[in-house]
Every structure is written in structure tokens, then in C-alpha cells.
Amino acid sequence: MTGPERRTCSRAGCRRDATQQVHWRNPRIHTGDRGKVWLACDEHVGFLSDFLTARAFPVEVVPLQPVP
């Protein structure tokens, strides 16, 4: 898949298709209703969520939904 339909992993240097969403927020600067989403391939979902968890950020990993 190419173009706007392709969703690539957020890990630096990775060009794989994302399969997961990593929802997170920095509680020091984001209110409870505002957060961020990183996309992750199967290989990097653990790395990205561990990176955020180590900083005590609330993190939730959910499957990436297909583009309609």
C-alpha cells in the first residue's frame, strides 16, 4: 500500500506497516481529554510502549483499524 492509505510505524527509521496504535499522554502538559497516538509495527510496539511507560506516561495499546 502506498500514498495516504499507508500507515507507517512511528519508530525512527522503520518503514514497516503499522498494526497497532500506542495511545499516550504526558500528564504534566496534556489534560485528560488530550493525548497522542503513535503507530507501531509488531516488532516495535513493545519498544514504543516501554519508552513511554518508563517515563510514567499513561499508555494504552490497541489494534490499528483498517482504512475503510
Which pLDDT does position 1 carry in this prediction?
Answer: 46
Which pLDDT does position 4 carry in this prediction?
Answer: 59
The cell 495516504 sits on which residue?
A: 4
- What global pTM score does this model have? 0.84
Is 40 in contact with 9 (CB distance < 8 Å)? Answer: yes
The pLDDT tens digits for 1-18 are: 455 577 999 999 999 999
Which pLDDT does position 38 carry in this prediction?
Answer: 97
The pLDDT tens digits for 7-49 are: 999 999 999 999 999 999 999 998 878 899 999 999 999 999 9
**Secondary element (H or E) of residue 46:** helix 45-53
